[in-house]
Chains A and B, each alone.
Chain A
């Protein structure tokens, strides 16, 4: 439980808009231990999603820039790695699920193709049978049935819950070590939210994942996490053992969040 799988050191990320430069993440440092559930809580605009995207190397695609800092994954700095070396890790060792399943699936590509791509991109030599086997395993893990129909559907033909399960199946396809879940229940109905959260935490246990979850919901943070960090205006104001923080919050902002 003590091995550090991810170390973030003095990370600062900025976004340039036409009128100003916004520093979305300011000098943030924290460690994630192997096998734990690490939750980052904060209101929208606190920089928590920006932070999650940085772990997945999505900052530049988002139009942001990493100003300074390091992200060590097993001792290697992800920010200094060449693209190709990072690419091999993405979706294989570190993977991510997103806020809104609706917009995170390509609307004009069949779902089946999008799912199997997660496997084939890291196993270009895989045979058809092998692909089929791996994909159906992954779909079983996220408890999707009617897989034949889903496979031949386009995203708009599926429900929000199904889509989020599909995104999760793509993320766990290659048995990653780290799963980043960025507000995984935001776009979903209240009844489905719990199912998805339970599924994620179950997968965490069965697959031995290290889970990093981003949320604005303090109850979710308390229920699912071992360690948490509270973000406010791009800074981590408090971090540590979840129960410890809830019992004895030190920062004023944390107290405010807990009392709400």
Chain B
């Protein structure tokens, strides 16, 4: 187990280097240089000043040198200063992380609470009325565009009914509220974004669990369990469930980057102060240090998520653990 872990971590080193190379290359080859936006709309700046700025950022050096300089700083999480307001990119990123984690943890919990029982039930009662209705709902959830659902919910619950706020994470008067009012204020701001970001993943996950469960119910050891005289309930909970939920680990592991990377669309539509919106704004402003910071962090987290998933898999599945 320990050896497995070490091996897994060593394998990830070349992948991390690859991630930084690709992130850097993508930015380097993107048309439009950062200095362009800073200069082009400002008539007071001469081309000499532009050259000086290029030099200042090291943009005149050869590619590999630029990459190496950048890489040395990335290792210590220094992505440079934002072009927009001069603050360190890492600082801007870190201050957005809690809001995004809050949103995503809540929606992962909601997703699991709803999708697991629903997936299992529709597998056990395959082709029943419930299963059919659910298939339709899942397809709607899956195919409706997130931004459209978000806008519709905002119109219905925010404008027509006026029950829920439609943007931000807190109200303007948040600091003057009592503790309970603060909690409700936060919760009411979270309801719509959490629901919207759960819908799509709920649809995918419940299908995964349904098909996983159907697959497990066809296995031979299920026949053994029935022939022991177990009831359907006992067969499902004592024998099928654990096997059917194994793939869930991968899915949760893969959702870790989204957990911190945030969703560009949802956060932008709801003006939610998280990483996703930071990334969106950074792209619009060609704020390279922030974009690259988010890119590297997200890629790194994807890798981490994979490793965590592999380890959890080994913990949950004895066949992998003892290999």
A61 / chain B contacts, CB cutoff of 8 Å: 217, 222-223, 226
A226 located at the interface, meaning its Cβ lies under 8 Å from any Cβ of chain B in the complex? no
A109 located at the interface, meaning its Cβ lies under 8 Å from any Cβ of chain B in the complex? yes
Are A157 and B322 in touch, CB under 8 angstroms? Answer: yes
Quick one: CB contact mask for B191-222 with A, threshold 8 Å, 1 for yes?
Answer: 00000000000000000000000000111111
A57 located at the interface, meaning its Cβ lies under 8 Å from any Cβ of chain B in the complex? yes
Also in contact, A109 and B238, with CB within 8 A (given A61-B223, A98-B220, A103-B221): yes
B239 / chain A contacts, CB cutoff of 8 Å: 106, 109
Are B224 and A98 in touch, CB under 8 angstroms? Answer: yes
Are A167 and B224 in touch, CB under 8 angstroms? Answer: yes
A106 / chain B contacts, CB cutoff of 8 Å: 221, 224-225, 239, 243
Also in contact, A91 and B219, with CB within 8 A (given A108-B317, A156-B319): no
Also in contact, A89 and B224, with CB within 8 A (given A108-B242, A109-B239): no
Are B318 and A108 in touch, CB under 8 angstroms? Answer: yes
A5 located at the interface, meaning its Cβ lies under 8 Å from any Cβ of chain B in the complex? no
Also in contact, A91 and B227, with CB within 8 A (given A106-B243, A108-B318): yes
CB distance from A95 to the nearest CB of B (A): 7
Contact with B226, one of A58, A89, A157 (Cβ below 8 angstroms): A58
Interface residues on B, range: 20 to 34
A33 located at the interface, meaning its Cβ lies under 8 Å from any Cβ of chain B in the complex? no
B242 / chain A contacts, CB cutoff of 8 Å: 108-109
Question: Bound complex: CA of A104 vs CA of B238, how far in Å?
Answer: 15
Are A105 and B234 in touch, CB under 8 angstroms? Answer: no
A63 / chain B contacts, CB cutoff of 8 Å: 218
Question: Bound complex: CA of A56 vs CA of B227, how far in Å?
Answer: 6
Contact with A104, one of B217, B220, B246 (Cβ below 8 angstroms): B220
Are A117 and B319 in touch, CB under 8 angstroms? Answer: no
Are A90 and B226 in touch, CB under 8 angstroms? Answer: yes
B231 located at the interface, meaning its Cβ lies under 8 Å from any Cβ of chain A in the complex? yes
Quick one: CB contact mask for A83-94 with B, threshold 8 Å, 1 for yes?
Answer: 000011111100
A29 located at the interface, meaning its Cβ lies under 8 Å from any Cβ of chain B in the complex? no
B31 located at the interface, meaning its Cβ lies under 8 Å from any Cβ of chain A in the complex? no
Quick one: CB contact mask for B282-323 with A, threshold 8 Å, 1 for yes?
Answer: 000000000000000000000000000000000011110010
Question: Bound complex: CA of A156 vs CA of B234, how far in Å?
Answer: 23
A118 located at the interface, meaning its Cβ lies under 8 Å from any Cβ of chain B in the complex? yes
Question: Bound complex: CA of A36 vs CA of B294, how far in Å?
Answer: 74
Also in contact, A156 and B316, with CB within 8 A (given A95-B227, A107-B243, A122-B229): no
B181 located at the interface, meaning its Cβ lies under 8 Å from any Cβ of chain A in the complex? no
Interface residues on A, range: 20 to 34
Which secondary structure characterizes the binding site on chain B?
Answer: helix
Also in contact, A100 and B220, with CB within 8 A (given A90-B229, A154-B319, A156-B322): yes
Contact with A58, one of B223, B243, B318, B322 (Cβ below 8 angstroms): B223
Are B228 and A90 in touch, CB under 8 angstroms? Answer: yes
A105 / chain B contacts, CB cutoff of 8 Å: 221, 224
Also in contact, A121 and B224, with CB within 8 A (given A107-B243, A107-B318, A154-B319): no
A212 located at the interface, meaning its Cβ lies under 8 Å from any Cβ of chain B in the complex? no
CB distance from B23 to the nearest CB of A (A): 39
B223 / chain A contacts, CB cutoff of 8 Å: 53, 58, 61-62, 98, 104
Are B229 and A104 in touch, CB under 8 angstroms? Answer: no
Are A89 and B229 in touch, CB under 8 angstroms? Answer: yes
A170 located at the interface, meaning its Cβ lies under 8 Å from any Cβ of chain B in the complex? yes
A residues 76-129 in Cβ contact with B at 8 Å: 87-92, 95-96, 98, 100, 103-109, 117-118, 121-122
Also in contact, A154 and B227, with CB within 8 A (given A100-B220, A103-B220, A106-B239): no
B187 / chain A contacts, CB cutoff of 8 Å: none
A-B complex: 10 closest residue pairs judged by Cβ atoms: A91-B229, A154-B318, A103-B220, A90-B229, A91-B228, A106-B221, A104-B220, A104-B224, A96-B227, A118-B228
Chain B residues at the A interface, C-beta cutoff of 8 Å: 217-231, 234, 238-239, 242-243, 246, 316-319, 322
Chain A residues at the B interface, C-beta cutoff of 8 Å: 53, 56-58, 61-63, 87-92, 95-96, 98, 100, 103-109, 117-118, 121-122, 154, 156-157, 167, 170
- 26 of the cross-chain contacts (CB-CB < 8 Å) are A57-B226, A57-B227, A61-B222, A61-B226, A62-B223, A87-B229, A87-B230, A90-B226, A90-B229, A92-B229, A95-B227, A96-B227, A105-B221, A106-B239, A107-B221, A107-B318, A108-B243, A108-B317, A108-B318, A117-B228, A118-B228, A121-B229, A154-B322, A156-B318, A167-B224, A170-B224
Q: Told that A57-B226, A58-B226 touch, could you supply 16 new A-B pairs with CB distance under 8 A?
A: A58-B223, A87-B229, A90-B226, A91-B227, A106-B225, A107-B243, A107-B318, A108-B318, A108-B319, A117-B228, A117-B238, A121-B229, A156-B318, A156-B319, A157-B318, A170-B228
